[in-house]
Structure formats: structure tokens, C-alpha cells
Amino acid sequence: MSEILVLIDHADGSVDKSSLELLTAAKSAGTPVAVFVGTAEAAQQAAPTLAEYGAERVLVASDPALTEYLVAPKAELLASLVESQQPAAVFVSASPEGREVAGRAAAKTDSGIITDAVDVTPDLVATQSVFAGGYTITGKVVKGTPFIAIKPNSISAEPSQGAGSVEEISFSPSDAAKTARIVSVEEKPASGRPNLTEAAIVVSGGRGTNGDFAPVEAFADAVGAAVGASRAAVDAGWYPHANQVGQTGKTVSPQLYVAAGISGAIQHRAGMQTSKNIVAVNKDDEAPIFELADYGVVGDLFAVLPQATDAVNARR
Amino acid sequence: MRIIAFVKYVPDAAGDRSFEDDNTVDRESDGLLSELDEYAVEEALQIVSQAGDGEVIALTVGPEDAEDAVRKALQMGAHKGVHVYDEDIEGSDALSTSKVLAAAVRKVIEDEGDVDLILTGLASTDALMSVVPVQVAELLGLPAATQASDVEVNGSTVRVRRDGDTASQYIEVALPALVSVTDQINEPRYPSFKGIMAAKKKPLEDYDLEDIDLDAAEVGEDAAYTEVIDITARPPRQAGEIVADEGEGGQQLVDWLASKKLV
Ligand SMILES: Cc1cc2nc3c(=O)[nH]c(=O)nc-3n(C[C@H](O)[C@H](O)[C@H](O)COP(=O)(O)OP(=O)(O)OC[C@H]3O[C@@H](n4cnc5c(N)ncnc54)[C@H](O)[C@@H]3O)c2cc1C
């Protein structure tokens, strides 16, 4: 069976859920081969998980330059692996970095790329949702090696044991790729909540919070959700831009999206419209968000959310 | 300091966007300068004014109306405009579009001299082309720093801050480079009356494929690297259940979530 390269995202060897989803997609279309960029120790730690989700081989590239510079070295790595391994396709996560690495590697190998796929069939037909979810497109790469960037949370990761044999590969990026150097990193304080783009539930607040996100956060914590925000809330300085959902923020596709005090502007919808279930709490019964809501409560979020939080806690 | 700002003409996000019968995006309908590109134009203007001298060249690839996007950039203060249009470009996908942009940049360098920086906005609002900026950088052999929330040019390097989910990164790139900026970076200016008048006299070059020395076989639908199989308008979501809160709204909400096994 033909191999599919999967670029793994991880934090010191703990593998992102989105990468497991990629392995599952790769398994349905061929033999998953994990491409792991990081130290040998981190790779040892990750290998059992990667194997559990179907990786037959785990190719480890540990040249430090791969992580000291932005994007270009990893793109060279993928391009060189496309050359040496002749895979049937390359899957990456549709994160900003994943897209860019794949975009550059596709240009290097004169290959087509499909980004933001929400599904991939065994014969590599990808489904995309565009124009704020208004249209669904299916398409295929017809030249070169298909590069497909898959949106997190679109495919459910299924365990399926693979051999997971670890192979160190010797690869050093060229000087030309070592140009955008990461000189320093400032960690942000951890919120303790799930990662916005990977969370199964997202609870977002908008201008209707009037700057008080406490009821939004309390409900989010009761249901184990990540917290999102509309641009109006971010622009007002009430919540960090990293939490913004929408066209100029994050695209999320959780099992459940709760919009509280958010009107549902098209640019906001662009970031959440593919959520499986949408709930709206808004005091204006004509707010456009209700057009997409599977369930809506017309009311004051400062009354509805605290009561809902208590009701969730009471179920325990 | 010579900066090229990529500007893009996009269907108006507030209007209805659609596909034409031949599966290409309907770009004839009401469009404008992508709002996200205004941040790139603004940043370019600020960098040039800080440098004390230099020029901003606004470059677009697109149908005849796309000239409006360049015009708007000139009104904001860009010094020159370049509009690449050729029938053969229609239907180009991401990589082919990147090839046109890269060839256009080479042409600008040939005519005007070296370019220090290429600035672009975030992924275009029509989302099918989010990889174009990095592909252009790749084709031109330039480093790229994307998603900049802050850009500082010091002599021959540019320093960029990128705000991620768990950390902010500081990146240093040697010029020439390509940098894409977010909507957090600045507050784009509105064209002044003076700016609007002045724009009418600014140079605006029209190029076709021959001018930028690109073979028509490399672009357009036939050269596309990807093929659209099918497009379907998403069925409108089934109208949901909407209740008015009469004191029990929170409880009702949780009951519904429980019925769907979501809590
Ligand atoms: C280029 C561009 C990019 C953009 N990108 C994004 C993006 O990424 N994400 C994004 O979100 N927006 C984006 N926007 C902005 C978008 O157009 C809207 O302005 C924004 O989404 C509005 O945020 P909001 O819904 O919180 O505020 P509003 O539209 O003001 O809505 C507030 C809502 O809260 C309700 N409300 C008020 N008080 C209460 C209460 N006590 N209880 C319950 N409900 C209450 C009101 O009825 C109203 O419906 C973008 C715009 C542009 C031009």
C-alpha cells in the first residue's frame, strides 16, 4: 500500500490530537508514515502513541535548525522526503504553520495543495468548506504529490495499531532556509483550558458581555470548554486576540459551539459555522446568530449562563 | 527602502459570494480592496516614512475591476501601482497565482530596482488561497515571516512579533524578505481628499503575461495543480429550536444539551 507522510505536531513528544486525526485519515488512504521533527528522546516518547494510531514508520529529523527557524527548514525536509520516499500524499494539520510548511514544500516540489480540508476520501478527494461555510467543494490534486492540510477536529482519531518503527533520518537544512530566525519566545500564562482549535466544546462571548467574561468562563469550565471571543470583544480589550474566533481569528469546528452575546456577523460565522451543534444566547430575538443555532435562548446571558452553569454542576 | 504591497480585489464579504457556472469564483460582482490588505499598505507607508525615503508599490493580479484595489492603495498614499491582468490568468489556482505574483515582482525589480520588502495581508477573505504569500516567497527564494503583529525595520534586518496561542515569538529576518501582517498591527488610514486627488496622477502600470515574461501554459485553468470535482451550496441549516428565557432558559439549555449527550 502506498505511503502517506504525516507531519506530526507535538510539544516535547506529547502528540497533538490533530496529528492523531491526520494519522487516521492517512490510514484510510494508505500506510501512515509519521514525520517527527524533534529530539530523539521526544520521538521515543511519541512513538508508542503514533504507532497506536497507525504509524508504520516514524521518521525522526532532529537537526536543531529545523526548529530554530520558521517554516522554511521544515518545508525543505518535506520536499526532500517527497523525493526520497515517493509518498502518495503528504498530510499536515491546517494550522498556520502546517499550511505554510506545506505551501512552501508544494512550491518546491511543483505540487498541488489543498488547504482546510474537512474530509479526505481513500482516493484523496478532499472536501473543503468555503465562503463562511456557504459552499462545500470537493477537489483533488492533479499534479505532483498531493499536499493536503486538514482542519483539526474534522475527522475523529481512531486507534489502529501500526508498527511504529523509529528511523533516524539525516537531514540538515540549507543555509538558504535558515533565514527567519526565532530569536526569542515569550510564553503566555497558561489558561488551564483546552486549546481553542482542538476543544470539543467552545464557549464564546461577544460585545454582549459588556467586558465581563466571568459567566462565559464559568460555563466553559463547567462543561470543560475552551473560551472564544468575537472581534468586538477582542478589539475592546476584553479578551486576547489568540481567542478570537472568525475570519481574522481562529477557525473552530467543535462538537458544540456556544455563542453568548454575539450577533453572528459573517466574519464571525466564517470561524465557527462548521461546528456540529450551535447554541446561541442573545437578548435580541432577531440576531442573525439564531439563523444558525440548533438551540437558542432569547435572554440575558447574565441570567441564562449562570443558571446553566448551576444546572451542569447539579448533574454531577 | 522600496516596498511592494500585495493588494487583492475580493468579492465583498458582506455581499453574497458565489461561484460561476465554470466553478471559478465570481469576481465580477461587487468587490473591493481586501480589508486585510489595507493593513499591509498602511504598514508599508509607515515603514517608508520612518526610513525617511523610499516608495510603496501596490501590486495586484486580477480582472479589470481589480484596478480599484490598486487605486485605493494609491489613495491611501502608495506611490505607484501595478495591475497584472491577462485573460489566460483566469481560473488559476494557488500555485499558478503565486507564479504570476513572483513574475510580477521580478518585473518590478527589473524596472524600478531592488525591492527590500514585500508586505501582504492575512490570507485573503476568500480563503482558497491562504498559501499564496509563502509560495511567492519560495518561488523568489525569499525568507518569509508571516502573521506579524509588529514589524520593525533596522537597517538590513526586519524584526517581527508573532502572537501565537501559548507564546509570542520574535523573529529576525534579513532583507529582502516577505512579511505578512495581521489586522492587529495598525489602524489603516482613510484616504484623504488630497490623497484621492493625488492618486489620479500617480503612475499605474498595466502588465499582461508577456510583459512579466510568463508562459501562458503555466497559468489558468488548464495548468491548475488542483481540480474541482464538485461544488454544492450548503443546505441552509435546519431551523433550530429557539426558546425565550422566562426564568428557566439556562435549565432548558442544559436539558437540551443533555438530550444531545453534549453534557
Ligand atoms: C475584515 C474583517 C474581519 C473581521 N474578522 C472578525 C473575526 O475574526 N471574528 C469576529 O467575531 N468578527 C470579525 N469581524 C467583525 C464582525 O463584522 C462583527 O463586527 C463582530 O463579529 C461583532 O461582534 P459581536 O457579535 O460580539 O458584537 P455585536 O455585533 O455588537 O453583537 C453583540 C450582541 O450581543 C447581544 N447582547 C447584548 N447584551 C446582551 C446580554 N446581556 N445578553 C445576551 N445578549 C446580549 C446583542 O443583542 C447583540 O446581538 C471582522 C470584520 C471585518 C471587517
As a whole number of Å, the end-to-end CA separation of chain B is: 57
CATH code assigned at A78: 3.40.50.620
CA distance B63 to chain A (A): 20
Residue A156 φ/ψ, nearest 5 degrees: -90, 130
- Model confidence at A245, in pLDDT bands (50, 70, 90)? very high
Structure confidence by residue, pLDDT tens digits, A172-208: 999 999 999 999 999 888 888 998 988 999 999 999 9
Mean pLDDT calculated for residue range A294-303: 98
- pLDDT exceeds cutoff 60 at A103: yes
User: By percentage, how much of chain A surpasses pLDDT 90?
Assistant: 85
- The answer for B 47-66 residues in CB contact with A (under 8 A) is none
CATH code assigned at A214: 3.40.50.1220
Q: What is the pLDDT of residue B22?
A: 59
Domain that holds residue A219: 201-314
Mean pLDDT calculated for residue range A99-112: 95
Instruction: Determine the Cα–Cα distance for residues B68 and B208; give it in Å rounded to an integer.
Output: 17
Q: What is the pLDDT of residue A217?
A: 98
Is residue A149 located within the same domain as residue A207? no
Is residue A8 located within the same domain as residue A71? yes
Residue A122 CA to chain centroid, in angstroms? 21
Is residue A206 located within the same domain as residue A173? no
Residues of each annotated binding site of A: 207, 230-231, 244-248, 261-268, 282
Structure confidence by residue, pLDDT tens digits, B74-121: 999 999 999 999 999 988 888 999 999 999 999 999 999 999 999 999
Interacting residues of B42 by C-beta distance below 8 A, sequence separation 6+: B76, B185, B186, B187, B188, B189
Q: Chain B within 8 Å of A141 (Cβ-Cβ)?
A: yes
In a domain? residue A51: yes
Give residue A284 CA to ligand 1 midpoint distance, Å: 13
Cell numbers given for B50: 520612518
In a domain? residue A195: no
Mean pLDDT calculated for residue range B57-68: 91
CA distance A44 to chain B (A): 25
Instruction: Determine the Cα–Cα distance for residues A84 and A170; give it in Å rounded to an integer.
Output: 12
In a domain? residue A239: yes
In a domain? residue A131: yes
Instruction: Determine the Cα–Cα distance for residues B60 and B1; give it in Å rounded to an integer.
Output: 20
Instruction: Determine the Cα–Cα distance for residues B26 and B35; give it in Å rounded to an integer.
Output: 18
- Which residues in A lie closer than 8 A to residue B144 (C-beta atoms)? 70-72, 100, 180
Q: Chain B within 8 Å of A306 (Cβ-Cβ)?
A: yes
Q: What is the pLDDT of residue B25?
A: 57
User: What DSSP assignment string belongs to A276-297?
Assistant: SEEEEEES-TT-THHHH-SEEE
Q: What is the pLDDT of residue B29?
A: 44
CATH architecture of B2-235: 3-Layer(aba) Sandwich (3.40)
Q: Chain A within 8 Å of B146 (Cβ-Cβ)?
A: yes
**Is there a contact between A66 and A74 (Cβ–Cβ < 8 Å)?**
yes
In a domain? residue A212: yes
* DSSP H or E segment with residue A14: strand A14-15
Is residue A139 located within the same domain as residue A217? no
